Structure 1
Amino acid sequence: MTKMIISPSKYIQGPDELSKIASYTAQLGQHAFIIADDFIMNLTKETIASSYANQENTYTAEKFNGECSKPEISRLKEMCASVNADVVVGIGGGKTLDTAKAIGYYNSIPVIVAPTIASTDAPTSALSVIYKENGEFDEYLFLPLNPTYVIMDTKIIAAAPVRLLVAGMGDALATYFEARACKRANKPAMAGANVTEAAIALARLCYDTLIEEGLKAKLAVENKGTTEAVEKIIEANTYLSGIGFESGGLAAAHAIHNGMTVLEEAHHMYHGEKVAFGTLTQLVLENAPTEEIDEVAQFCLSVGLPLTLEDIGVKTINEDQIRRVAELACADGETIYNMPFNVTPELVYTAILTADKLGHYYKSLNQ
């Protein structure tokens, strides 16, 4: 049985790390091609310019137009090649980072990603999600390598809206439970082979960090502060969860999230917020110990993650809608089949409704 763990070559985290960008790109090349959207470019351009002042290595900055689409990737990769860049840097949110990864892949140059939020675990992954120009999903671009460097400037991330950090906790909340399911079922992870003990250990550390530090980090970020708890949660949301999902695997929680994309009322919710409810549903589906469900529910309540269908926008439960969610969660090829038992749409439907009832129960205890 082949086992595998994959990760970025370097993960770098701390306040004001973006101010060192020139020294990081110099380790990989002489001329960096830096992309960011309008807002992030305006936010960081002085920091970048100051970093490269009086340095031998140089850079070209180009605006990312907002969609990780094939035409935008093509435009930027050609521009990157035209300036003879030998390293590409993406600064910003997920679509910017995915575009930088794609440019690096097509131009065969190293990739640095510098997230400005910690709302998902995607930055560390060897994957770009490609969209059509109208914003509809197009395809996944599976990459042979993870980003070369991931740079987390915690001062910038802590200044972002607190809901984004909490959404990242919701995404990270699923990591251990999904990796555990894949391990129990002897199913391969996203990396393409079976789960290592190291991946399980990192996934467990991710969960333990959320439980211990999540509330403290949320309170600090509400005050735009960077504390040790914030540092630990950023690492959990990004690196621990990133390695945990890619090398540990996905299971029911993310499949249920994917099913919930048919709920128009939930379209305003962030990925991690819906994954949190998917995690509670997975625990119901596998009949996890009551103590474990209690801990997860209390954590969600403490940081403000959804526990009920109402919390994600579903004010009135429609049986046909929820059955459709369950059917989509059980579509061919979905990660729900990494659970260590047979799963059917009927079981998922019942688990969703039971999770919703449990959520209402826990919320009533805290009123």
Structure 2
Amino acid sequence: MDERRVTQTCFPGRYIQGPDALGKIPSVVGAFGGKALMIADPFVADHVLPEVKHFFSGAELVIEKFGGECTDAEIKRLADTGSEAGCNSVIGFGGGKTLDTSKAVSFYMKSPVVIVPTLASTDAPCSARAVIYTESGEVVRYLDLPRNPDVVLLDTKLIVKAPVRFLISGIGDALSTWFEAESCMAKGAANSTCGAGHQHPGSMTSYALAKLCYDTLKEYGVLAVSSAKSKACTPAFEKIVEANTLLSGLGFESGGLGAAHAIHNGLSELSECHKFMHGEKVAFGVLAGLFFTDKGKDVIDEVYTLCESVGLPTTLADLGISEVTDEKLEIVAKRTCVEEETIHNELKPGVVDSVIQAIRAADSEGRRRKGSK
């Protein structure tokens, strides 16, 4: 079999979203056999659960507070707890590392997993991957799972209470989805299903969903950010939560990644960027990617306008890099172009000098539009 001729598209088993969606937990847990291990991050355990526990009436839950880091030891502790309690499913309730830990725990328990994000800041909740860390926070490995989460559930009344920066960062992450999937489609490059090593391209469904993600951001992004600033759970807010989470999740995993995420990884090498969120760095990676892939003026203007309108970075200074040097750009570009990076899914060769020129051009355009030198 030639994997390059066999498309592969992955989805979560069920996606549930809306105000008071937490009320679906008892029926979801019941369908999986009755008792669930709920892994709650510390903030959720201390501040959110007391306010939402009425939604769980009738559900048999074993609630464990997440230790703070997605390590092998923490995964084993929680899996042992769930197995000893006779739990039939796992619920992850909280932020990214809590959700990754829950995916891993369910894998070792051989049980279904329900993912309940409290933010709409990335597209990771729908994916079949967990990142495993050391106790001090260094990445150990990626755990590629045999299936996507059984249920992804977002209660938008809860999510709208989060600081608006998280939603904006999610827009930045989702902004990359179509441009990267489009590049993979043009080249016939492998998508991100099943982890590293496979060669399956995406399907027309995944590319269409990636395009819908971009169209939704353009149409509703500004309105959703305005709504979030007022803690108003409007239709526009609902659409952007879905775009950030489901459409972007399906688009990146089944469509594929490209220059934007590779440039993000390069920017993450600079200490100045460490305090910025994933989607904020990805957004600048999108802008640099537009120049790298030679997009036209109208597209470039459209994307910059969206970034400016919602508050995403458009210059290196916006990412804390006030002094741009050849040495820093070379560090970013070399990391961007390592052999295993997704920039090689682009039609254009991923070489260091081309990346440096694209980053310089993106920064220059951002500064021009701001009226700065």
Quickly name the TM-score band, shorter chain normalised: over 0.9
| Residue of 39, 42, 46 corresponding to 1:38 | 42
Q: Which residue pairs with 1:251 in the alignment?
A: 258
Amino acid at match of 2:213: C
Amino acid at match of 2:259: A
Q: Which residue pairs with 1:103 in the alignment?
A: 105
Q: Which residue pairs with 2:371 in the alignment?
A: 364
| Residue of 164, 174, 191 corresponding to 2:176 | 174
Matched, 1:350 2:357: yes
- What is the TM-score when the length of structure 2 is the normalising length? 0.96
| Residue of 285, 289, 293 corresponding to 1:286 | 293
Cα distance, 1:48 vs structure 2 = 5.4
Checking the alignment, whether the CA contact within 8 Å between 1:298 and 1:362 is kept in structure 2 is: no
Q: Secondary structure at the match of 1:7?
A: coil
Q: Which residue pairs with 1:277 in the alignment?
A: 284
Cα distance, 1:47 vs structure 2 = 5.3
Taking the aligned partners of 1:286 and 1:38, their CA distance within structure 2 comes to 43
Q: Secondary structure at the match of 1:123?
A: helix
Checking the alignment, whether the CA contact within 8 Å between 1:31 and 1:86 is kept in structure 2 is: yes
Q: Secondary structure at the match of 2:153?
A: strand
Taking the aligned partners of 1:170 and 1:341, their CA distance within structure 2 comes to 23
Q: Secondary structure at the match of 2:257?
A: coil
Taking the aligned partners of 1:200 and 1:134, their CA distance within structure 2 comes to 38
Taking the aligned partners of 1:337 and 1:175, their CA distance within structure 2 comes to 16
Taking the aligned partners of 1:335 and 1:343, their CA distance within structure 2 comes to 9
| Residue of 266, 273, 287 corresponding to 2:273 | 266
Taking the aligned partners of 1:336 and 1:52, their CA distance within structure 2 comes to 45
CA offsets 1:322-354 (integer angstroms, 9 cap, x no match)? 111000000111001000121211100111111
Q: Which residue pairs with 1:84 in the alignment?
A: 86
Amino acid at match of 2:134: K
Amino acid at match of 1:36: A
Q: Secondary structure at the match of 1:262?
A: coil
Pairing of 1:145-160 with structure 2 (within 5 A):
145-160=147-162
Q: Secondary structure at the match of 1:205?
A: helix
Taking the aligned partners of 1:364 and 1:231, their CA distance within structure 2 comes to 34
Matched, 1:11 2:18: no
Checking the alignment, whether the CA contact within 8 Å between 2:216 and 2:243 is kept in structure 1 is: yes
Amino acid at match of 2:368: Y
| Residue of 128, 131, 134 corresponding to 1:129 | 131
Taking the aligned partners of 1:41 and 1:113, their CA distance within structure 2 comes to 15
Taking the aligned partners of 1:358 and 1:243, their CA distance within structure 2 comes to 31
Amino acid at match of 1:34: M
Q: Percent identity over the alignment?
A: 45
Amino acid at match of 1:157: I
| Root-mean-square deviation (Å) | 1.3
Pairing of 1:164-313 with structure 2 (within 5 A):
164-191=166-193, 192=198, 193-313=200-320
Which ranges of structure 2 fall in alignment gaps of 5 or more residues? none
Amino acid at match of 2:150: T
Q: Which residue pairs with 2:335 in the alignment?
A: 328
Cα distance, 1:19 vs structure 2 = 2.8
Amino acid at match of 1:106: Y
Cα distance, 1:308 vs structure 2 = 0.5
Cα distance, 1:42 vs structure 2 = 2.5
Checking the alignment, whether the CA contact within 8 Å between 1:14 and 1:154 is kept in structure 2 is: yes
Cα distance, 1:43 vs structure 2 = 3.0
Cα distance, 1:138 vs structure 2 = 1.2
Checking the alignment, whether the CA contact within 8 Å between 1:34 and 1:60 is kept in structure 2 is: yes
Q: Secondary structure at the match of 1:343?
A: coil
Q: Secondary structure at the match of 1:230?
A: helix
Amino acid at match of 1:229: A
Which ranges of structure 1 fall in alignment gaps of 5 or more residues? none
Checking the alignment, whether the CA contact within 8 Å between 2:23 and 2:56 is kept in structure 1 is: no
Amino acid at match of 1:310: A
Amino acid at match of 2:305: Q
Checking the alignment, whether the CA contact within 8 Å between 2:184 and 2:191 is kept in structure 1 is: yes
Quick one: structure 1 residues 31 and 240, their matched pair in 2 at CA, closer, same or farther if it must change by over 3 Å? Answer: same
Q: Which residue pairs with 1:26 in the alignment?
A: 30
Taking the aligned partners of 1:17 and 1:358, their CA distance within structure 2 comes to 42
Amino acid at match of 2:243: A
Quick one: structure 1 residues 133 and 141, their matched pair in 2 at CA, closer, same or farther if it must change by over 3 Å? Answer: same
- What is the TM-score when the length of structure 1 is the normalising length? 0.97
Checking the alignment, whether the CA contact within 8 Å between 1:206 and 1:241 is kept in structure 2 is: yes
Amino acid at match of 2:267: M
Checking the alignment, whether the CA contact within 8 Å between 1:118 and 1:237 is kept in structure 2 is: yes
* Runs of 4+, deviation exceeding 3 Å: 46-49
